[in-house]
Amino acid sequence: MFYKIIGIMKGIFDNIAILMIFFVALFTLLVDGRKFKRLGYVKEFNLARIISYSYIIIGASVYILLKFV
């Protein structure tokens, strides 16, 4: 059962998809986050940080799961 799920995930996520997840996270953190902070949107800035860090953690977890399992 577990290997069947891993097989499906390998079909969905390849190296390019994982890189895109990281680039979206970095873009949100560095570009959008700075813009929100500069404009004084504190709630939006915090939400952008949470989303970015979540994407980074998810991307790293999927990469590790698919490469080492």
- Domain segments of the chain: what residues? 2-68
18 Cβ contact list (under 8 Å, min separation 6): 59, 62, 63
- As a whole-number percent, the residues of the chain with pLDDT over 70 amount to 100
Nearest to 54 by CA among 19, 30, 21: 21
List the chain residues with pLDDT less than 50.
none
Mean pLDDT across the chain = 90
25 near 52, Cβ under 8 Å?
Answer: yes
What pLDDT does residue 11 have?
84
